[in-house]
Amino acid sequence: MTSAQTLDRTTVSGPQKLGPLTPLVGEWEGDEGVDISYHNNDDEIGRTTYFEKAVFKPIPLQENGRQVLWGLSYSMTAWRHGEEAMDPFHDEIGFLLWDKADGQVIRNVVFGRGIAILAGGDAAIGDRILHFDATPGDPCYGILQNRYLLDRAEIKGFTSSFVFDEDGAFSYTSDLRLRLAATGSEMHHTDENTLRRVKRFHPGSGLN
């Protein structure tokens, strides 16, 4: 592990039972979002910029026999620039889990358009970069999508990274590799944004 991948642990106090997920607790906003995707109405790949809100809250301890998981519930909602007072164009909910014994971070995410992904990767306490990967058909970290999307925009792979920046911001990238029936080719549907914490909270104490 290089120093660039390790969080300065003096910036995070307490027992860090959430492991490398610890810095995420709170509410965040970001106005630097960029989405690259296929636009059906225009029949072309287009670029959309967006504003986003994210919330990460600790959940109860999860126990599967000898496995112990600490984690966060989370939601991320995005609005196209200029449409912040309207319906969002993207919404996802899920869980982020920390398996200390196996050194794994897990992202269990559901998208409103009918996609469910369980992605994961190796991680340790103090990591500043977390990777989540999933592949269709994988018995552990896999991907499901509804029949319509499977026929028209089959997901061939998912990769995502969370990065904890030195200034306290949180950045992410995600890449859905798709096979498009409309073009007969593959493309990368990508998203990225940088968010900054707007609220800290300590569940159980009522302190903000």
Q: Please check whether residue 7 lies inside any domain of the structure.
A: no
CATH number at residue 190: 2.40.128.20
Q: Please check whether residue 65 lies inside any domain of the structure.
A: yes
Which ranges constitute the DSSP H helices of 37-186? 147-152
Range of the domain at 104: 26-198
Q: Please check whether residue 37 lies inside any domain of the structure.
A: yes
Q: Please check whether residue 168 lies inside any domain of the structure.
A: yes
**The pLDDT value given to residue 194:** 98
Mean pLDDT of the region 109-123: 96
The DSSP bridge pattern shows strands 153-164 and 170-180 to be: antiparallel
Strand partners, 163: 129, 171
pLDDT at 202 over 70: no
Q: What is the pLDDT of residues 84-101, one digit of tens each?
A: 999 999 999 999 999 999
Strand partners, 154: 179
Q: What is the pLDDT of residues 38-65, one digit of tens each?
A: 887 777 889 999 999 999 999 999 999 9
| The pair of three-digit structure tokens given for residue 84, joined into one six-digit string | 């912040």
Integer Cα distance of 13 and 208 in angstroms: 16
Asked if residue 125 lies in contact with residue 104, where contact means CB atoms within 8 angstroms, the answer is no
Q: What is the mean pLDDT of the chain?
A: 90
Integer Cα distance of 50 and 32 in angstroms: 7
Integer Cα distance of 97 and 195 in angstroms: 20
**The pLDDT value given to residue 205:** 41
Number of domains in the chain: 1
